Amino acid sequence: MKGSTVSNGAYQTVHGVNGPLLIMRNVKFPVFGEIVRITLKDGTKRMGQVLEISVCNSWLVIYQRDMNKEGGPGRNLLQFTGEIVET
């Protein structure tokens, strides 16, 4: 299943969920540590960051919640900001 792109850097389709981790496929040019803004199906806002990148997949960790309970796979809006988490 290809990711559904809304606009530059925004995606709607989550491929998989495991607790606070989301798996996205076919994300164009994700960056390790990049901040992601998430709008869940019910309008709730969350933030996360890119945790790992492979050829086809991007793993994101979502702050604050267990996405199994709230987001799940499907049509959530994810905006890759281009901003990097600084430590």
Residue 79 pLDDT: 92
CATH architecture classification, 5-84: Beta Barrel (2.40)
SS (H, E, C) 43-65: CCEEEEEEEEECCCEEEEEECCC
Print burial letters for 63-84: b (CB count within 10 Å at least 16), e (below 16).
eebebeebbeeeebebbbeeee
pLDDT the model gives residue 81: 92
Partnered with residue 25 across adjacent β-strands are 57
Say what the pLDDT of residue 41 is. 80
Per-residue pLDDT of the chain (87 residues; tens, 9 = 90+): 344 445 557 887 788 888 888 888 888 888 999 999 988 888 888 899 999 999 888 888 888 765 655 555 566 788 999 999 777
